[in-house]
């Protein structure tokens, strides 16, 4: 997919032995000497600070981060002098990342995306250099204590009050949002006109890396052997995987499309509860409240859908992360069609679902089409919890059908449904 948005390409002042830019995760202490050795001067995308003190944290930290986010992103090195020489700072007991996040949360709106690492001096591990990488923001203007800062040469400057720069920042934000909306249009497959279905997108905001046709061959092998997909096809910019190997006009199956730029579309019919159980479900809900006439309602099997989505998206994202895509650059969206009077049913194996209905009332979709978007779903991912996908899927599946987080917290599963992650080759409706 070609992209017209004027987003900057990834830049790092540090390189590896092959001359490739180093990401913040790849930087080692010995790489920092390149700043002086290669004569990397402070500029539009690089800034140095010698000290990590209260004066810097209060007056300059958020202004600098905001100026990078409002421009093309950049690198802030703390413990480096203005000639690029390493002077080091002392580590803190508190986590640097949390300290910076707290400061940004109180002083900046909206919140820019950043990463930081304290790279320790191996000769004196109490000291080191704090490296902060700030992404080019996709939701500008970012405002620090009422002022918009941008980069100008090696400096951060407040925006003049004539609004022209702010208008350009807003235009850049709108361009990004328009491109994302174009991407979410389903260009492959329309399910049966009355069948409820969902298209999930993982939209790569930065799109700095590219998959190759060799990668597509790996994807084909991996997902057809292990991911439950039946066949694949190539387009000029994507590989398309089908959950079934049957080709016929009325077949309904999951369709996974992975693009060269790392974005993903996943379309699938929403699986119904087993038909013989639907009458019992409707009867039990009628017992909860005699005013519930559920004739014509469609009951969706939450656990079947949940584990199917979770298994597929986790597998996709884990693969993309091996190709140097950054999980923090993704937007996650759920787009539903034909879901009016559809009810998400939790087969918990006990009366928990019905007890919840008695307590809160019945939850179902009153709209034919709905969409829910998570702009930074993996912002707080860590090495221990690298993806954190299931929580977003839970909300993405249930909120459009009337569930609040409090209602969801009252519904607990007492069974293992992980083995139900298959989808019928026939149209379930």
Residue 255 is given by DSSP the state: E
Within 10 A of 13 (CB to CB), how many other CB atoms are there? 21
User: Residue 390 contacts by C-beta under 8 Å, 6 or more apart in sequence?
Assistant: 310
pLDDT at 394 > cutoff 80:
yes
CA distance 71 to 2: 22
pLDDT at 416 > cutoff 60:
no
Interval 149-188: pLDDT, tens: 988 887 777 876 556 777 778 877 777 777 777 787 766 6
CA distance 62 to 77: 14
CA distance 142 to 40: 27
CA distance 168 to 159: 11
pLDDT at 208 > cutoff 70:
no
Would you say 384 and 321 are in contact if contact means Cβ atoms under 8 Å apart? no
What domains are defined for the chain? Answer: 29-179 (3.30.950), 184-420 (no CATH)
Portion of the chain with pLDDT greater than 70, in percent:
88
Six token digits for residue 274: 């087993």
Would you say 332 and 201 are in contact if contact means Cβ atoms under 8 Å apart? yes
HEC profile for 16-28? CCCCCECCCCCCC
Interval 324-369: pLDDT, tens: 787 878 889 999 999 999 999 988 778 888 999 999 999 999 999 9
SS3 label, residue 278: helix
Q: What angle do CA 88, 89, 94 make, to 5 degrees?
A: 145
Does the pTM surpass 0.85? The reply is no
Average pLDDT rounded to a whole number, residues 54-83: 93
């Amino acid at each position: 997919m070609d992209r017209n948005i004027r987003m900057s390409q990834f830049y790092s002042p540090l390189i590896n032995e092959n001359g490739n830019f180093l990401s913040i995760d790849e930087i080692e202490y010995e790489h920092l000497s390149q700043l002086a050795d290669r004569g990397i001067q402070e500029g539009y995308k690089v800034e140095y600070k010698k000290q990590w003190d209260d004066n810097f944290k209060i007056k300059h930290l958020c202004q600098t981060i905001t100026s990078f986010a409002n421009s093309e992103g950049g690198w802030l090195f703390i413990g480096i002098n203005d000639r690029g020489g390493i002077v080091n700072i002392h580590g803190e007991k508190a986590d640097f990342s949390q300290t910076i996040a707290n400061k940004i949360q109180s002083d900046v709106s909206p919140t820019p995306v950043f990463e930081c690492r304290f790279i320790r001096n191996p000769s004196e591990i109490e000291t080191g250099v704090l490296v902060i990488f700030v992404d080019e923001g996709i939701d500008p203007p970012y405002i620090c204590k009422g002022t918009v800062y941008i980069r100008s040469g090696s400096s951060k400057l407040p925006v003049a009050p004539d609004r022209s720069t702010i208008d350009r920042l807003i235009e850049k934000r709108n361009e990004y949002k328009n491109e994302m909306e174009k991407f979410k249009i389903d260009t492959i497959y329309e399910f049966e006109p009355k069948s409820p279905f969902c298209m999930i997108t993982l939209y790569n905001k930065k799109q700095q890396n590219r998959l190759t046709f060799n990668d597509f061959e790996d994807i084909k092998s991996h997902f057809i052997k292990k991911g439950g997909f039946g066949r694949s096809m190539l387009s000029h910019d994507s590989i398309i995987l089908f959950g079934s190997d049957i080709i016929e006009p009325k077949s309904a199956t999951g369709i996974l499309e992975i693009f060269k730029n790392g974005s993903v579309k996943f379309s699938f019919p929403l699986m119904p509860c087993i038909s013989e159980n639907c009458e019992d479900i409707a009867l039990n809900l009628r017992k909860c409240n005699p005013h519930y006439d559920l004739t014509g309602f469609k009951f969706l099997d939450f656990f079947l859908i949940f584990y199917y989505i979770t298994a597929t998206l986790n597998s996709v994202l884990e693969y993309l992360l091996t190709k140097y895509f950054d999980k923090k650059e993704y937007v996650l969206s759920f787009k539903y069609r034909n879901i009016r009077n559809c009810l998400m049913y939790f087969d918990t194996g006990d009366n928990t679902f019905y007890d919840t209905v008695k307590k809160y009332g019945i939850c179902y979709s009153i709209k034919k089409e709905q969409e829910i978007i998570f702009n930074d779903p993996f912002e707080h991912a860590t090495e221990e919890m690298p993806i954190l996908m299931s929580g977003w899927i839970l909300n993405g599946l249930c909120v459009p059908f009337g569930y609040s987080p409090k209602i969801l917290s009252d519904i607990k599963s007492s069974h293992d449904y992980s083995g139900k992650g298959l989808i019928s080759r026939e149209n379930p409706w």
